[in-house]
Amino acid sequence: MELTRIHCFVLVLILHGTGTWSDDGLLVLDYYAETCPLAQEIVQHSVEIAVLKDPRMAASLLRLHFHDCFVMGCDASVLLDSFGDMVSEKEAGPNLGSLRGFEVIDKIKYNLEKACPYTVSCADILAMAARDAVSLRGGPTWEVLLGRRDSLKASFDGANHFIPAPNSSLETLIANFDHQGLDVEDLVALSGSHTFGKARCLSFRQRIYDENFQEQGDRYERNTMFRRILRSICPQSGRDHALAPLDFMTSARFDNHYFNNILQGKGLLPSDNVLVVQDHGGEIRRQVWAYASNPQLFYASFAKSMVKMGSINVLVGDEGQIRKNCRFVNT
């Protein structure tokens, strides 16, 4: 049986522990132990400052990593600005006007370039920053495998095609995650990232005004007060960029409330609700119940799935480059 890259990463961990490059040239722990020993501390300190100034930035940094990995892999392509014939992924529908945190990554990269020029990749910065952002808001931490290199191109079309839409059906979400090598358990665990942060009115308006969602089993009808609150934030037309918390209980804290919310029909996005409404077999609903009743189980599953997601189609060895400026390919 042919081993996938993700299986190989697990073997590297088992065989090589926390060394630098493995013989196979894959990601490992402590990759910068000799070349930039303070790399993780520099990233963590910068994320702490950014999140202290703006608690919502924690969710934004996690989302940056997710949107990067789902387009061509975890290669920092999402950070590239448009240049020449290349159109930035920032201009794609799922990202335009909503993806944020680029200036935080710029600051981290600036600090790392002063300490260790041309050493730490932007892709690794995204992975470390996502981990630190979650941990700082009360969530789990995990060991980030390192050694990614940065893409030489972006994929505007890929960003429009592969990043899950907020109105995706369960079937579409499962297929989308499967394309990335992630299974249903990863889908449910990573959906738990919607326990903090905010979403634009544009992302959930249809669900609170379109009666077809009620006909399809949407449970908003049982939560008329919740729906009224959302309608006060998001009128039937206009205010597309008005923001509502993904979790009205603890919008700035990473916890397991998201799973309680969707069990009560109080998930904000249509793609949240489908996890329980369209799960006809009951397997996903059982996983949601388990996470709702056991935060530590959710944390462990989330950390495991983040490591797995962070290994999607990475560039290693001589592939790509280490960008000096995360917004542009080196000249």
Catalytic positions are 67
Q: Say whether 89 counts as a known binding-site residue.
A: yes
| Angle, CA of 301, 304 and 310, to the nearest 5° | 135
Q: Which two tokens stand for residue 250?
A: 């603890």
Cα 103 to its chain centre, rounded Å, is: 17
HSE (side-chain half, CA atoms, 13 Å) at 229: 12
Q: Say whether 186 counts as a known binding-site residue.
A: no
Q: Say whether 18 counts as a known binding-site residue.
A: no
Q: Say whether 77 counts as a known binding-site residue.
A: yes
Burial class (CB in 10 A: 0-12, 13-18, 19+), 259: buried
Q: Say whether 140 counts as a known binding-site residue.
A: no
Q: Say whether 139 counts as a known binding-site residue.
A: no
Q: Say whether 331 counts as a known binding-site residue.
A: no
Q: How far apart are CA 148 and CA 151, in angstroms?
A: 10
Q: Say whether 235 counts as a known binding-site residue.
A: no
Q: How far apart are CA 327 and CA 323, in angstroms?
A: 8
Q: Which residues of 158-197 are buried (b: 16+ CB within 10 A; e: fewer)?
A: ebbebbbbbbbebeebbebbeebbbebbbbbbbbbbbbbb
Q: Say whether 143 counts as a known binding-site residue.
A: no
User: Secondary structure of the chain: what % helix, strand, coil (to 5)?
Assistant: 50, 5, 45
Q: Say whether 255 counts as a known binding-site residue.
A: yes
Binding residue positions: 68, 71, 73, 75, 77, 89, 164, 194-195, 247, 250, 255
Binding residue positions for heme b: 194
Binding residue positions for Ca(2+): 68, 71, 73, 75, 77, 89, 195, 247, 250, 255
